[in-house]
Each structure stands twice: as C-alpha cells, then as structure tokens.
Amino acid sequence: ETGVTQTPRHLVMGMTNKKSLKCEQHLGHNAMYWYKQSAKKPLELMFVYNFKEQTENNSVPSRFSPECPNSSHLFLHLHTLQPEDSALYLCASSQVGGGSYNEQFFGPGTRLTVL
Amino acid sequence: GQNIDQPTEMTATEGAIVQINCTYQTSGFNGLFWYQQHAGEAPTFLSYNVLDGLEEKGRFSSFLSRSKGYSYLLLKELQMKDSASYLCAVLDSNYQLIWGAGTKLIIKP
C-alpha cells in the first residue's frame, strides 16, 4: 500500500448505529487530519493530530470521536449521527516542521450516508 | 474572520486557456496551495506559492500577489481530463490550511 488509504469507501448507517472510519498513511508523516466535505462547501477541518497528540478540534459535535493510536493510523468513531452528517469524510497526512511546507496528502475518502 | 473566495463554476473549451482566481483574507500567511479534485476522488496537490510571482509547471501555472491577497491558477491547452474542481487553500499563521469552496471547471469539446 502507498499513500493514504481509507476504509470503508462507502458507509450507510442509521442514526442509532455505531461505526468507525479508518485511515492509514504510509508516507512517514507526523501529522494526520480529518476533514468533512459537503457539496459546494469548503473543506471543514475537524481534527488534527501532530505526533499522535490532538492539537485541533474545531467545535466538532461529540458524536464524532477521533482516535490516533500511532502516527500512521487515525480513526473516526461515529455514534448517534444525524442526517446532516452525511458527507464525504477525508483523511489527510503531512510532514510538519523541518522546513516542510505542510503539503497535505489525501486519502480517497469515505462517502457516509446517515438515514 | 478568515475567508477564501473563488468562483463557483467556470466553463472553457478544449485546447483553450482558463484562469481561476482566488482571493483571501487570513490571519497570517505561510503559503497558498492549489489542489485538483475529480468528482468522487481525493484532492491532489498541484502547486504551492509562498513568494510573489509566477510558478510554472507544465500546462499549469500559479501566480501569487501577497500585497493584494490574490492568486490565480492558469491552465493552458485544456484537455477533457482537466474537468474537475480546483481548490485554493491558504496556510495561516498557525500552519493550518484554510480552504476555499472550490471552482468546478467544465471543459467542452
């Protein structure tokens, strides 16, 4: 595997379900990100992890719970979601510091539909 | 507040040239990115500008004017495969990316 991978690619869930999204980066980067992308809206940054520590949480509802067990893996745990949470969820990674300009590499995304 | 503006949609003809503009107002500036995103796919990196001027990379060029808070992406010799959304993003003083909503580019034969 190369780059940034995400599973599943598509997910349909009811409002009472619990599911998790998985992201893995094979680039040796030290930062990972979760974004939400809704139609015709800017990418919304949800969470940032630098060196496995969460450094950003942009007022995301508690029904979204991130987990970063190591610098290569990132999870987004979902529970009691709402229909308006239906969107494309993108994971990205980058190398922060050391002269890098923080170019972010994206995974293919998980298309989430909440019924 | 922080704001990135770019046109919602543009249409151009195969073989022609198109310029996609981006204006920004952010708290600090550490560079500007352009990404390409085909429908249903991940955004992919196109260019990065941190100094004023034009950066050329094949058929694509990106320009930056920091004093005007302005950038453009220039696409030459358009091909059908260039139909995609083009995202402008600015790295702010906290090294976080602030994203525009994207410009959907439609290429017609």
Query: What is the distance, to the nearest Å, from the Cα of residue B19 to the centroid of all Cα atoms in its chain?
Result: 9
Asked if A101 has any chain B CB less than 8 Å from its own CB, the reply is yes
**Which residues of chain B form beta strands (DSSP E)?**
3-5, 9-13, 18-25, 32-37, 44-49, 53-57, 60-65, 70-75, 84-91, 97-99, 103-108
Separate counts of helices (H) and strands (E) for chain A: 0, 11
pLDDT for A50: 84
pLDDT tier, A97 (very low <50, low <70, confident <90, very high otherwise): confident
**Residue range A19-43: mean pLDDT, rounded:** 93
Chain A residues closer than 8 Å to B30 by CB: 101-102
Which of A45, A103, A108 is nearest residue B45 as measured by Cβ atoms? A103
User: B60 or A41: which carries more pLDDT confidence?
Assistant: B60
User: B82 by DSSP, 3-state: which?
Assistant: helix
User: Residue B76 has which token pair?
Assistant: 């030459």
* Distance (Å, whole) CA A1 – CA A15: 33
pLDDT band for B94, please (50, 70, 90 cuts): confident
CB-CB under 8 Å, A105 with B95: no
pLDDT for position A16: 87
Cα–Cα dist A32/A91, whole Å: 7
State chain B's mean pLDDT as an integer.
95
Q: Is the pLDDT at B29 greater than 70, yes or no?
A: yes
Grade residue A52 by pLDDT with cuts at 50, 70 and 90: low
Q: Of A46-55, A98-107, B65-74, which one has max mean pLDDT?
A: B65-74
Residue A1 has pLDDT above 70, yes or no: no
CB contact under 8 A, A108 and B95: no
**Cα dihedral across residues B47, B31, B49, B66: positive or negative:** positive
Strand B9-13 to B103-108 pairing:
parallel
Assess B99–A contact: CB distance below 8 Å, yes or no.
yes
Q: Is the pLDDT of residue A106 over 80?
A: yes
Instruction: State the burial class of residue B53 (Cβ atoms within 10 Å of its Cβ: 0-12, 13-18, 19+).
Output: exposed
- Say yes or no: A87 contacts chain B, CB-CB below 8 A: no
For the four alpha carbons of A2, A4, A8 and A12, in that order, the dihedral sign comes to: negative
Give how far Cα A2 sits from Cα of A26, A29, A43, A106, Å. 6, 13, 24, 12
Q: For residue A100, name the pLDDT band (cuts at 50, 70, 90).
A: low
Q: With a cut of 70, say whether residue B60 has pLDDT above it.
A: yes
How far apart are the C-alpha atoms of A77 and B92, rounded to whole Å?
A: 28
Q: Is the pLDDT of residue B67 over 70?
A: yes
Q: Which helix (H) or strand (E) holds A79?
A: strand A73-79
